């Protein structure tokens, strides 16, 4: 009898896992239950995601999707600008050469979330996905799944919650619930930026431009079709963004005024991003507590956001999700091929995943906390030093690096650039008078 596996959710983690289990050629019967009624029923699949070497990219390689991925990965999307509200660029990292993909050097190419999902979707056997199946309840004793349409399925040998932030598998394993992060935002798109706003297009560049000041942030990110996705983040109560979007409905001009009211003294060059964009969506950001875990329960586990939801401020969510899929698939493969206990394999996956999740959560929290300070542009840059060092495998406390004040240097470098930017703005305004 094949091992019967139910994966709840056809997001990046669930699909990566299904694909990996398929390519390992182990005796497994997979069913994915997905809430969306069809692959195209959701109007937007979100923005762009940066994939990292040892997590997202490693999973794609193991899944046999590397050649296909190279058609969609955008290495020029690694261009990164970090600035402040005066549109002073404090750091400008230019794109990495594509050859880094081959050599396995540190790289973070971008891919549209939509393209990633459709590439993964096309890579799994279509008949394994049941669309429009919203899991509502899981009966722990019988293992039967009940869906919103009152249909049932199961029991299965293993049920895997890959159902994201509001997982319906999670309550079976733990009482912990996502908590509001204190930050909410509005995402929107500028479609024809190259033709209609060439100056803005040049300012944003090929990748991401993150702006931080006064506990707020703007993000502009180039998408695969050349459009730009804008996000404006503010520290307001949980309902603020949703209420504002609901209140102004389709009156985008009024909605833009409300959003921009939060950024009154910011450079017009940045505010124009929102003025030029459309299709606003509210995003209250939730997170699970750092270091959360659950007691192992036979027959159930979780991967991705369901297991360790984070805010997007370190860009680790999708990477950690795909790494979870990779590790769980490998654990199941080894166990099945060597006739070992599946339950033990799942337990081992969880024991290795918890500290990994904690590491990503800590990094994300560090970036988020830096964003939530008055001098956020400088503080985020200092936090990025830790993040990049960790990812590149450097320990700033050890060896010769312990003697180099990297973070202090970054602090003074960024602060002085910020002060210069502020002074030139003041000078310009004096001359204009």
Binding site for ligand FAD (CB under 6 A): 8-14, 33-36, 45-47, 49, 113, 133-135, 162-164, 168, 304-306, 312, 317-318, 321
Please provide the size of the chain in residues: 433
Q: Which is nearer to ligand FAD, 120 or 259 (CB)?
A: 120
Decide: helix, strand or coil at residue 190: strand
Residue 222, beta-bridge partner list: 228
Q: Which is nearer to ligand FAD, 182 or 425 (CB)?
A: 182
CA distance 286 to 180: 4
Min dist. Cβ of residue 44 to ligand FAD (A): 7
Q: Which is nearer to ligand FAD, 280 or 336 (CB)?
A: 280
Q: Which is nearer to ligand FAD, 121 or 334 (CB)?
A: 121
Q: Which is nearer to ligand FAD, 5 or 410 (CB)?
A: 5
Min dist. Cβ of residue 162 to ligand FAD (A): 5
Relative to beta strand 28-33, strand 3-8 is: parallel
Min dist. Cβ of residue 386 to ligand FAD (A): 19
Min dist. Cβ of residue 26 to ligand FAD (A): 22
Which has the closest alpha carbon to 173: 290, 294, 288?
294
322: tokens are 């795909």
Min dist. Cβ of residue 48 to ligand FAD (A): 7
DSSP structure string for 11-53:
SHHHHHHHHHHHHTT-SEEEEEE-SSSSTT-SS---SEEE--I
Q: Under a CB-based contact definition with an 8 Å cutoff, are residues 80 and 254 in contact?
A: no
306: tokens are 């369901």
Which has the closest alpha carbon to 5: 24, 26, 25, 32?
32
Min dist. Cβ of residue 8 to ligand FAD (A): 5
Q: Which is nearer to ligand FAD, 307 or 378 (CB)?
A: 307
Q: Given the structure tokens 């502020």, which residue do they identify?
A: 422
Min dist. Cβ of residue 129 to ligand FAD (A): 10
Q: How far is CA 19 from CA 48, 65, 175, in A?
A: 22, 10, 30
Q: Which is nearer to ligand FAD, 285 or 335 (CB)?
A: 285
Q: Under a CB-based contact definition with an 8 Å cutoff, are residues 144 and 152 in contact?
A: yes
CA distance 357 to 263: 34
Q: Given the structure tokens 């950001």, which residue do they identify?
A: 285
CA distance 392 to 53: 10
Min dist. Cβ of residue 38 to ligand FAD (A): 12
Min dist. Cβ of residue 274 to ligand FAD (A): 17
Min dist. Cβ of residue 30 to ligand FAD (A): 15
Q: Which is nearer to ligand FAD, 321 or 381 (CB)?
A: 321
CA distance 282 to 232: 10
Min dist. Cβ of residue 238 to ligand FAD (A): 18
CA distance 224 to 110: 9
Decide: helix, strand or coil at residue 279: strand
Q: Which is nearer to ligand FAD, 12 or 77 (CB)?
A: 12
Q: Which is nearer to ligand FAD, 83 or 312 (CB)?
A: 312
Q: Which is nearer to ligand FAD, 205 or 315 (CB)?
A: 315
Q: Which is nearer to ligand FAD, 48 or 86 (CB)?
A: 48
Q: Is residue 199 classed exposed, middle or buried when 0-12, 13-18 and 19+ CB atoms within 10 A define those classes?
A: exposed
Min dist. Cβ of residue 72 to ligand FAD (A): 15
Q: The dihedral of CA 199, 271, 217, 112: what is its sign?
A: negative
CA distance 144 to 138: 6
Alpha-helical (H) ranges within 205-316 are 240-248, 252-260, 268-275, 305-308
Q: Is residue 71 classed exposed, middle or buried when 0-12, 13-18 and 19+ CB atoms within 10 A define those classes?
A: exposed
């Amino acid at each position: 009898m094949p091992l019967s596996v139910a994966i709840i959710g056809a997001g990046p983690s669930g699909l990566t896992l299904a694909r990996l289990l398929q390519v390992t050629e182990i005796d497994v019967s997979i069913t994915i239950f997905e809430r969306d009624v069809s692959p195209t029923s959701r109007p937007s699949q979100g923005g762009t995601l940066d994939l990292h070497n040892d997590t997202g990219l490693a999973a794609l390689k193991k899944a046999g999707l590397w050649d296909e991925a190279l058609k969609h990965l955008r290495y020029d999307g690694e261009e990164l600008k970090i600035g402040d509200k005066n549109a002073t660029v404090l750091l400008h990292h230019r794109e990495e050469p594509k050859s880094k993909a081959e050599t396995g050097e540190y790289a973070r190419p971008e891919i549209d979330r939509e393209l990633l999902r459709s590439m993964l979707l096309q890579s799994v056997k279509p008949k394994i996905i049941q669309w429009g199946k919203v899991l509502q309840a899981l009966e722990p004793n019988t293992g039967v799944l009940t869906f919103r349409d009152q249909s049932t399925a199961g029991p299965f040998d293993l049920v895997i919650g890959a159902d994201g932030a509001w997982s319906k598998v999670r309550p079976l394993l733990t009482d912990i619930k996502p908590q509001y992060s204190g930050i909410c935002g509005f995402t929107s798109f500028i479609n024809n930026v190259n033709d209609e706003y060439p100056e803005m297009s040049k300012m944003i560049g090929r990748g991401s431009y993150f702006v931080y000041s006064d506990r707020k942030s703007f993000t502009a990110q180039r998408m695969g079709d050349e459009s730009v996705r804008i996000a404006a983040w503010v520290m307001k109560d949980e309902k603020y963004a949703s209420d504002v979007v609901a209140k102004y409905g389709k009156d985008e001009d009024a909605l833009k005024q409300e959003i921009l009211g939060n950024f009154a003294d910011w450079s017009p060059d940045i505010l124009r991003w929102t003025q030029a964009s459309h299709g606003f969506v509210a995003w209250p950001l939730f997170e699970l507590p750092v270091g959360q875990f659950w007691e192992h329960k036979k027959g159930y586990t979780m991967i991705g956001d369901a297991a360790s939801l984070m805010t997007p401020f370190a860009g680790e969510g999708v990477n950690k999700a795909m790494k979870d899929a990779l590790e769980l698939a490998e654990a199941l493969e080894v166990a099945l091929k060597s006739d070992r206990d599946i339950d033990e394999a799942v337990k081992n996956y969880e024991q290795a995943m918890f500290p990994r999740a904690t590491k990503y959560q800590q990094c994300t929290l560090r970036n988020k906390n830096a964003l939530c300070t008055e001098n956020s542009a400088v503080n985020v840059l200092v936090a990025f030093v830790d993040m990049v060092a960790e990812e590149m495998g450097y320990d700033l406390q050890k060896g010769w690096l312990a003697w180099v004040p990297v973070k202090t240097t970054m602090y003074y470098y960024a602060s002085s650039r910020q002060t210069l930017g502020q002074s030139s703005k003041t000078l310009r305004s004096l001359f204009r008078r």
